[in-house]
Amino acid sequence: MDRTHDIVIVGGGIAGSALATVLARDGYDVLVLERQTSFRDKVRGETLLCWGVAELQRLGLEEVLLGAGGTYATRMVPYDELLPPAHAEAAAAALDRVLPGVPGALDVGHPEACEALATAAAGAGATVVRGVGDVEVVAGAAPVVRYEHDDVGYEVGCGLVVGADGRMSTVRRQVGIALEQSAPRTMGGGMLVDGLHDWPTGQMSLGTEGDLYYLLFPRAGGRVRLYLLHDIAQRGRFAGPGREKAFLDAYQLACIPGSEMFAAAEPAGPCAFYPMNDSWTDEPCAPGVVLIGDAAGWNDPIIGQGLSIALRDARIVADILRASTDRSVEAFTPYAQERGERMRRLRVAAQVTTALAATFTPRAAARRAAYSAVFRSDPVLGGPRLAPQVGPERMPAEAFTKQNVDRILAMG
């Protein structure tokens, strides 16, 4: 045994480095094992909606992400084929008024956020090892982790292993935790672009036109992350050597004023598309091991909850560790239960959003129009729409029942 740590975190991305930072600040001996030597743009989530910002603040990490180039959007304009632009602007949501003390939705580059959080973890006293090779986890009351670094093998003991190693988690596989998955209905992709100086920095936007659902998240200096979703049957629509131009051409939407600006934008990162689906487990723990972030299952990215989920996971696990020295599976039952219900509600929210905004039929458009006219006045009806902003636990439980979903789907 080379050394013993309080906590070994496998994965130094958003969830892993956030947890490592707050635990190291509290004096825990934390080892972080990260495969990548540098974080690259892989078209991942880059927005913390308002409840995620509240989690960031509770973790004491807001300044870290602002220092990584994070920018607050205070306004969300729903430019959509069903609304004249002036009506969409009149219906804009004031994101700085959604939750007390939350300045808006935070847009930040994923690679920059990972780098900043990993640096913060090291600065707080965690041992952060980058460029790690194969990792082997032996679960149990006294778990053991073996890993390779610079062609040298190491073996360490710890009180707890945290699997924060993403969708293809090796920790999850080794401890035998299986995920359930929904069938994807859409393909979603994105691209980072420069040169959109005419787009207001503090204004995000989303909406549907034709057979596309778009989401737009700005940062400072004319840099914007653009996303598009289309039906799964059109897999490969934005592929091949001309995909960047095809993507920007598709963004010249009639519903967005001045959308010709997108033709002049410059790609600043890869253009890539992936199937959009949900994945989950009701048992994110094993003896001596707990999973957080995407390793424990993910929400359909259509509603942009990935970063918020990761930070909530980190905060709850940190609170459990602080409250007791018990590292048993039973000690993490509150986390498993809260996460299970949280992910269930977000699955409903993603299902409703897909039915309203990313189902490209006249019937779906009529449904979207009818729902948009009434959801703000009915907290049960509006729950699936509002939960991604305010947090799923803040909406009535009835909002996430089959009966309520059926009621929404019957509209129009």
pLDDT of residue 42: 85
Claim to verify: residue 197 and residue 130 sit in the same structural domain: no
The whole-number pLDDT of residue 44 equals 84
| Residue 187 belongs to domain spanning | 72-101+183-276
pTM of the model: 0.97
Boundary residue ending a domain (315, 341, 367): 341
CA–CA distances in Å: residue 126 to residues 28, 54, 147, 150, 294: 8, 24, 17, 20, 22
Q: Which of 326, 341, 356 is the last residue of a domain?
A: 341
Q: How far is CA 407 from the centre of its chain?
A: 28
**CA 337 – CA 281 distance, rounded (Å):** 11
Would you give per-residue pLDDT tens digits along the chain (412 residues)?
789 999 999 999 999 999 999 999 999 999 999 999 999 888 888 999 999 999 999 999 999 999 999 999 999 999 999 999 999 999 999 999 999 999 999 999 999 999 999 999 999 999 999 999 999 999 999 999 999 999 999 999 999 999 999 999 999 999 999 999 999 999 999 999 999 999 999 999 999 999 999 999 999 999 999 999 999 999 999 999 999 999 999 999 999 999 999 999 999 999 999 999 999 999 999 999 999 999 999 999 999 999 999 999 999 999 999 999 999 999 999 999 999 999 999 999 999 999 999 999 999 999 999 999 999 999 999 999 999 999 999 999 999 999 999 999 999 8
Residues 282 and 175 in one domain: yes
Same domain, residue pair 57 and 196: no
d(CA 281, CA 299): 11
H-only helix segments in 68-160: 85-90, 110-123
Q: 62: helix, coil or strand?
A: helix
135 lies in the same domain as 258 = no
38 and 122 share one domain: yes
- Residue among 35, 37, 108, 29 at smallest CA distance from 70: 108
Residues 38 and 123 occupy one common structural domain? yes
Domain count for the chain, please give it: 3
> Alpha-carbon dihedral of residues 360, 364, 366, 370, nearest 10 degrees?
-130
Residue 192 to residues 52, 217, 218, 219, 396: CA-CA distances in angstroms? Answer: 22, 10, 10, 10, 36
Which of 251, 276, 301 is the last residue before a domain boundary?
276
pLDDT of residue 224: 97
Do 9 and 61 sit in the same domain of this protein? yes
CATH number for position 17? 3.50.50.60
405 and 304 in a single domain? The answer is no
Same domain, 152 and 204: no
Clarify whether residues 196 and 239 are in a common domain: yes
Clarify whether residues 140 and 177 are in a common domain.
Answer: yes
pLDDT of 2: 82
CATH number of the domain that residue 243 is part of: 3.30.9.100
Within this chain, do residues 167 and 32 fall inside the same structural domain, yes or no?
Answer: yes
